Amino acid sequence: MEDRRYLPNDRAIQQLVRLRSTVGTIVMTPSQFKDAHFSPLGSFFYFSEQNIANDPLTIALAEREKSNAFKTLSTIIFVSTRDSKGFSVSGYIDLEQSLRSFKTVGVKSHPWAEIFAGHRRLEPDQQDLSFISWNNGKVFYNDSDNYKIIPDAVKGLSFLYKGDGSILTIEKYITEEHSLCTFIESPKHGSAVIYDHRIRRKM
């Protein structure tokens, strides 16, 4: 506290702290602190075995959690909602990869613990398979561990499942009666569509 008299403002103090200017003390930035204190849940932790929010989307995802982890089912989630600023966003999320990333990395994925607890909305973002910000028209595509993006001018957006080579054509899932396509209206998360793919062989 004595040093505060010789520094111009709190911002300067924070900069010095980040540069480890405090003698004999190792300090971290807020992001480094969060990384260091994150305790991985582990691959054998399942939200479906915990108390989860009574929401149709949350319940549907919990029902698919273990099947995705065991590689008997692969699920893509389409979500159309509003971001924290109130702008419309939509995108496709690889459920298995996103859950696995959260359980082992935590800070680099969707906040699944808060989502399953009902405290946060599931919002797609630029790290997902596909993301559209309707406010500025920006579109992002990313391959995941499980899927390769296949844009097709005729068939529309498709996903190639890397494990067995199957192609999931979104338009076909939507326009035809498909037992593995589920439409959900969630009071919390907005409109969602769940696309399930039964894996032909266990990975």
C-alpha–C-alpha distance, residues 3 and 13, integer Å: 9
Which candidate, 34, 44, 82, 86, places its Cα nearest to that of 65?
44
Which residues 6+ apart lie within 8 Å of 172 measured at CB? 155, 178
What is the Rg, in whole angstroms, of the alpha carbon atoms belonging to the chain?
21
User: What pLDDT does residue 28 have?
Assistant: 45
User: What pLDDT does residue 22 have?
Assistant: 46
* Pair type for strands 156-161 and 73-82: unpaired
User: What pLDDT does residue 39 have?
Assistant: 54
User: What pLDDT does residue 29 have?
Assistant: 55
User: What pLDDT does residue 5 have?
Assistant: 54
Residue-by-residue pLDDT tens, the chain, 203 positions: 455 555 555 555 455 444 444 444 445 455 444 444 445 566 678 989 988 999 999 999 999 999 999 999 999 999 999 888 888 999 999 999 999 999 887 556 799 999 999 999 999 999 999 999 998 889 999 999 999 999 877 878 899 999 999 998 887 666 656 668 899 999 999 999 999 999 987 54
Name residue 96's amino acid.
Answer: E
User: What pLDDT does residue 200 have?
Assistant: 87
User: What pLDDT does residue 52 have?
Assistant: 92
